[in-house]
Amino acid sequence: MSLATLLETQRDGLQRLTALLEQECEALAAGQIDGELLQRLAADKQALLAQLEHSEQQRRAFQTAGGYPEGDAGARQAARDAGCLDAWQAVRAASEHAARRNELAGSMLWMRLKQNQRMLDLIHAVSEKTLYDPQGRTGPRSARLKVSA
């Protein structure tokens, strides 16, 4: 597989990852959370991330086999020498876009978790208060002032 083809595969995978992250953000922004949808998106993201990791390992092996140094500078030089610098830059841009989308999704998820925790804390606090006595009556009545003149 050529470096250009490999980079195109990575760019396509990153664009699909970004689309999944956008769907996740939309699901988290919805008033009613669809747990099944979020689970499906998480599974799809994991599968896609495994594919992206595999293609990144292939790209690094190509870079190493070509005698290029590790890291971004070596990857850029390998792409330049292979005539696919534009593809490398597209992968970098897609990667940065996916990272920003992932950060947004993570922030939204964190806010949802905090909101759920506050609701659970409130439910717990309310449930600890005794609303009825064993006879089914409400709690003690407030003392009334006896006013005699």
Model pLDDT for residues 86-142, shown as the tens digit of each residue: 999 999 999 999 999 999 999 999 998 998 899 898 888 877 665 666 777 665 544
The amino acid sitting at 55 is S
- Rounded to whole angstroms, the Cα distance separating 28 from 105 reads 8
Domain 3-126 has CATH 3.40.50: no
> pTM of this prediction?
0.78
In this structure, what is the dihedral angle of CA atoms 35, 28, 100, 61, given to the nearest 10 degrees? Answer: 10
What's the mean pLDDT in 60-88? 96
Q: Which residue has the higher pLDDT, 3 or 125?
A: 3
Taking 50 as the threshold, does the pLDDT of residue 143 lie above it? Answer: no
In the chain, where are the structural domains located?
Answer: 3-126
